[in-house]
Every structure is written in structure tokens, then in C-alpha cells.
Structure 1
Amino acid sequence: MFLKNAWYVACTPEEISDRPLGRKICGESMAFYRNVQGNVVALEDFCPHRGAPLSLGFVENGDLVCGYHGLKMDCAGRALSMPGQRVKGFPSIRSFPVIERYGFVWVWPGDPAQADPEKMPHLAWENDPSWAYGGGFFHIRCDYRLMIDNLMDLTHETYVHSSSIGQKEIDEAIPTTVNDGDAVITSRRMEGVIAPSFWKMAMRSNGLPEDVPVDRWQICRFSPPSHVLIEVGVALAGQGGYDAPASSKVSSIVVDFITPETDSTIWYFWGMARRFRPEDAGLTAQIRTGQQKIFSEDLEMLERQQRNLEEWPKRDLLKLNIDAGGVMARKVIERLLADERT
């Protein structure tokens, strides 16, 4: 159902405090903690003694101690010691490759020998002071591919997000969808429209008039295993749209990292990176609050959709031209899954 040999966002650094964090990624139960150097470690969340979850234990001098009987594990998953017992002959438990980058903790749930850091996505705003980023995450009861469908077909904004980013012109603008290697790109442009409320706020924040026509764009880019980055923005009409000078537009990248937990649940890490007024922490917080409200509007729809599909598993779904992005993304996933199996 999901690719294992890939990098997924597991959590944010702030979630790993002085206690282990238990999280299931792609069906694998993991315990995350920091070693003595402060680096994140991910072990199988399973004590080899009695099968207790190691995430219910504690960290001692960079080693993970089971909270049931005190078995101590090192960063490679080897049993080190246990009060009054000889345990060094215990079988090791699995450890997972981990990288902390871009403000996230990434994990590779598949073959460790294939865990190449170069296969991670490149995020342009990392360590660039001309950008600002803010975001959050949700736990959602739906198949991760339903979220990809949702993000690659933004016509739902007209209906689900009618009070914030939706407008009827989205329905009227014909999208184009193309493949770029393993990536899928769906683009939609609207010319001479009035900006919806979220973008009016962004225009005000960048010193632009909010009551004049704008050219708007949405460029959704899916890349395996389940990442969707969306370039969005508005520019004063007639100034070049996407290519307009910075003084005439507001634009950003909507960040969507979708991490399967099980076949029917996901961890959804969302955010927005922008290139206007990056020093304004208050604006970052305002946009984050607005985004949280917008994405919250998707939750009920996706979870109810999941329940419907589980209730009627043999019903065929219609495929229209607006579904091209999601359909093509699924074909990429299916092809890569077949390659991974062989």
C-alpha cells in the first residue's frame, strides 16, 4: 500500500523531549529519542524481553531503558544490561535511519542500506533568511492517497473552503497536468479575479491594495513517496502573474508532507513558506492560524470519505479531468511499489 524505501516526516524536533516518543510510520512501530550527542535515534518500539513498548520507558545516558523491567538498549538496538540479569545474548531489535533536517525529523522505514540522504526533498527556504515558515500537523483517519487526491485537485476549495481561499473561478479555470519523471504537476491559473479573503489579508500584509483584480495561480507538485508542495499566490492583474515582480505580488509554497501510519490513518504535516515580510513573527503566527482553520475544514470530509469507501469497497469511482493529478500520482506510486517488491 505504501513505499517503505523512502524518507517520511516522523515528527517535529519539539515532540522529542526528555522522554521517548512512540509513533507508527508505514505500519512500523517506532520509539524516537535523543542520544548523548543530541542526535535522534529510532528503534523498534518493542522490548525483546516481554514485548513492552519501549516508548513507555525513559532515556538514561543516551540509552533507552524499558519502563517495564529496566532492560537497557543502545542506539543500534542491542541489549546492554538489566538489573540482576544477563541479557547481552538477546537478539537485537531493529533500528531505523533518521535525519533531522528542515525543521523535521525524517525516518526511512525500509531497507537501511538504501537510505540515501540525497533522496530527501530539497526545501529552498532552509537556512535562507529571505523566507519564513510556520506550520503544524494533524492525525487523520484516512488513506494517505485520499489526501494526495485532495491536494492535487484544488477545485474542492470552492466548496470546502468557501470562506477563506475558495472562489467560483477555480471551477472555471481548466487545469493542466504533466509528468516530470516521478513527479506530477497540476497547474491552474486565474486572470482578472478578485482575491478571496485569505489572499486579501496577504495582500494587505505586503502593502498591496486588496480590492483590485488579481491574477492567481496554483501549481501542485507531487513527488514520491507522498509529498505535495503547492506554489500559490496572487499578483496585481496584468503584471505578469506568476512571473510578476515581487513588489506586485504575494506568493508562497504550501507544504504538505503526508506520512502513512496504517492503511487507513496518516500523520499530516502542513505549513507555509513565504517570501514576503519574513521577519514578521506575528504575520507567521497569523498565517499559521489561518492555515490551521483551512486544513481543519478538510478533516471531516476526508474521514467521512474514508468511512464511505470502507463501507462500499466495490463501488467504482468516477474519474474526471480534474482528477488527473491524483490519478497520475497513484500510477507513480503503483509503479514504484512494483519495483520495490521485486
Structure 2
Amino acid sequence: MFPKNAWYVACTPDEIDDKPLGRRICGEPIVFYRGEAGRVAAVEDWCPHRGAPLSLGRVVEGRLVCGYHGLEMGCDGKTVAMPGQRVRGFPPVRSYPVVERHGFVWVWPGDAELADPAGIHQPFWADNPAWAYGGGLYHIRCDYRLMIDNLMDLTHETYVHSTSIGQKEIDETPCNTRSEGDTVITSRFMNGIIPPPFWQAALRANGLPDDQPVDRWQICRFTPPSHVMIEVGVALAGKGGYDAPAEFKASSIVVDYITPESETSIWYFWGMARNFRPDDAELTATIREGQGRIFAEDLEMLERQQANLLQWPERGLLKLNIDAGGVQARRVIDRHIAAERAGSPATALA
């Protein structure tokens, strides 16, 4: 169950620079490629001739050429030509609204008439020279809502990420949950603690001592259909915590764009945006490598969790106070799915 009248991250621009990319989004098989003038295009991954995946073809002068018999497809899903054949009467395949923006390719898998590019998620750090971003992509075999649960409750860091960002103070500090419209926010503030290894490295990278007590924060924001942005950071203790001047802290935004592939698999676009030493490419690469290892630790847990849920579908799950963020996020999702199925006009999501 996922909303389809919404903008999802489909891929990164470099994934379609050299050849077409086939990717299933919300159950829809779609091929992404660069059409005329290098503009991104997205059509159903189906050749109307023999049903071959168009993603196995190539792009020639802005046209998508099927790799089976050479049928040429336009960006609008209409057949353009085929060697030695008359194909103008072929039925078109579906085309999808698609936009390249903020370093990602976004697709709208639902009703094309509702797709407004103005609704694409606007990260304030994107296209800002004061910020640097590095990230990656994981394919994970789990329900997208399990990943949202995971990100909206960071208590698991103490156990899953014990050697990098986890510490006992996360367990010991209450988490606050609130909603602002469709946005669900969970927050935790830990004062006067010793920073874990990941944040020790971040402090050093920002020219700060790594052996002094710090104030640490985690602020998770869910917005539909499935985006989670997490403000994280540490500041030298007593300097103002979250509001401390930049010279006393190391902070960043953990970027999580979760795109359903199917009911039990996702494309997980992860990354970190920071506003210190933005021109340091080596630091960006180092942070990306470390963050990639951290998220890889989540991967096995989520896939094994999904396998258990499929094995024992009749078993209910306990809900504790630490689960409030995920529970409220699911309510937002369910509300939009219900409105979409009912044909409500207010079903388009950013």
C-alpha cells in the first residue's frame, strides 16, 4: 500500500547518462532515459511490438530504440519508427511525469493530470554552495513503511550501530513526538555526554576537540509520501546545544528518500548534507563511506524483519512509546491512500 499520486525519487542523473535505466516504482515498470536535448524521459518499460523491456535498448538522437527489433519510441510513449516496418498505428505505451531537480530524477507514478512539479520536495540545502552533499543507493527487500519506522525511532542506534553512532544515552533520553499537519517530528536532546565514534570524527573534521562532553540532538521529520530528513549534530557542552554558534558544533542533515519498488522492496536513496567545509571533496567521500557502512547495518535487520513478518502474518506487533513517530507517519500515509482510492481531489503529495 503506497500513494501513487506523489513525487518519488526514481534515480540519480548519472544513472541515465550512458544508457536507459529500468526501474520498478510503486509496482510500475518504468524506463528512464535522456531524450531530446538531454531532457529526462520516463515511459512504460514495455515494447508494443513483442513486449520486450525497452530498458534493454539504447538511446539514439533522443529516441529510445528497443534492443530486440529496433523499434523507436518517442518520449511521449508513441512509436516513431522501425526498420522496414510501418508502425505509426501502434498503440502508445504509458509515459510518466518526470523532472530532474535537486540532484535527483523525480517521477509521478499516479494520475498524470495531478502532477505539479511545484510539489516536489524542496530541500533547503540543495543547490546551496554553503552546503555539501554525498550519498548513495541501496536496494532493500522490505516494506517501505518499515524503513520509515526505523528512521523515526532512532533508539535502535544503541544496538544496531553500537560501534559508530550508538550510545546508551539514546535509550536513557525520552523522545518527543508531535505532528504539524502531514509532517511528523520526533526529537531527542542529550546533554553533557561523550560523543560516539562517528561524531568524534565529525568534531575533528570541523577543527573541534573530540574528547570533551557534548550536547547531542536528533530531530526526525517525516513528510509524505515517504521522505525522512533528520537533523543531527553535536556541540561542545554548554555552548548552546542545537542553537550553538557554528564554531562550536558539527551538524548535518541525514537525507532519506524512500521509494517503494513493490509491497516488500524499496529503493533507498540515502545521504548526508553538511554546512561545514563544503568544498572538501575528500571529507565528503569519507563521510559518505562511513554513513554507507552505518546504513548497511540497517539493511540486514530490515530484510530479516520483513522475512519474519511474511512468515508469520497473523502475529501482531507491539507498539511502545518509542514507536510513536512511525505510528503517526503510517496514519498520514493511510489517510492519503484512503483519499486517493476515494477519488478525493486533495490527493496530490509533495
Alignment of 1:145-164 (within 5 A): 145-164=145-164
- 1:200 is matched with which residue? 200
> 1:184-205 CA deviation, whole Å, 9 max, x = no partner?
0000000100000000000011
> 1:58-117 CA deviation, whole Å, 9 max, x = no partner?
111101111111111111000111122211111111000111111111111011111111
Between 236-245 and 321-330, the greater mean CA deviation after superposition:
236-245
Q: Aligned letter for 2:50? A: R
Alignment of 1:12-161 (within 5 A): 12-161=12-161
**Which structure 1 residue ranges, 5 or more long, are not aligned?**
none
How far residue 37 of structure 1 moved from its aligned partner, in angstroms, is 0.7
State the SS of the aligned residue for 2:32: strand
How far residue 6 of structure 1 moved from its aligned partner, in angstroms, is 0.6
Structure 1 position 222 matched with structure 2 position 195: no
How far residue 18 of structure 1 moved from its aligned partner, in angstroms, is 2.7
State the SS of the aligned residue for 1:95: coil
How far residue 180 of structure 1 moved from its aligned partner, in angstroms, is 0.7
Q: How many residue pairs get matched?
A: 342
How far residue 36 of structure 1 moved from its aligned partner, in angstroms, is 2.4
State the SS of the aligned residue for 1:202: helix
What CA distance in whole angstroms lies between the structure 1 residues aligned with 2:207 and 2:38?
42
Alignment of 1:167-316 (within 5 A): 167-316=167-316
> 1:285-339 CA deviation, whole Å, 9 max, x = no partner?
1100000000000111000000000000010100000000000000000000000
What CA distance in whole angstroms lies between the structure 1 residues aligned with 2:52 and 2:333?
34
State the SS of the aligned residue for 2:322: helix
Q: TM-score, normalised by structure 1?
A: 0.99
Percent identity, aligned pairs only, is 71
Q: Aligned letter for 2:78? A: R
What CA distance in whole angstroms lies between the structure 2 residues aligned with 1:304 and 1:146?
11
Q: Aligned letter for 2:326? A: G
What CA distance in whole angstroms lies between the structure 2 residues aligned with 1:82 and 1:166?
58
Dislocated runs of 4+, deviation >3 Å: none
What CA distance in whole angstroms lies between the structure 1 residues aligned with 2:104 and 2:303?
25
What CA distance in whole angstroms lies between the structure 2 residues aligned with 1:192 and 1:238?
8
How far residue 177 of structure 1 moved from its aligned partner, in angstroms, is 0.5
How far residue 211 of structure 1 moved from its aligned partner, in angstroms, is 0.8
What CA distance in whole angstroms lies between the structure 2 residues aligned with 1:186 and 1:177?
4
What CA distance in whole angstroms lies between the structure 2 residues aligned with 1:290 and 1:60?
39
**Which structure 2 residue ranges, 5 or more long, are not aligned?**
343-350
What CA distance in whole angstroms lies between the structure 1 residues aligned with 2:70 and 2:279?
47
What CA distance in whole angstroms lies between the structure 2 residues aligned with 1:137 and 1:276?
24
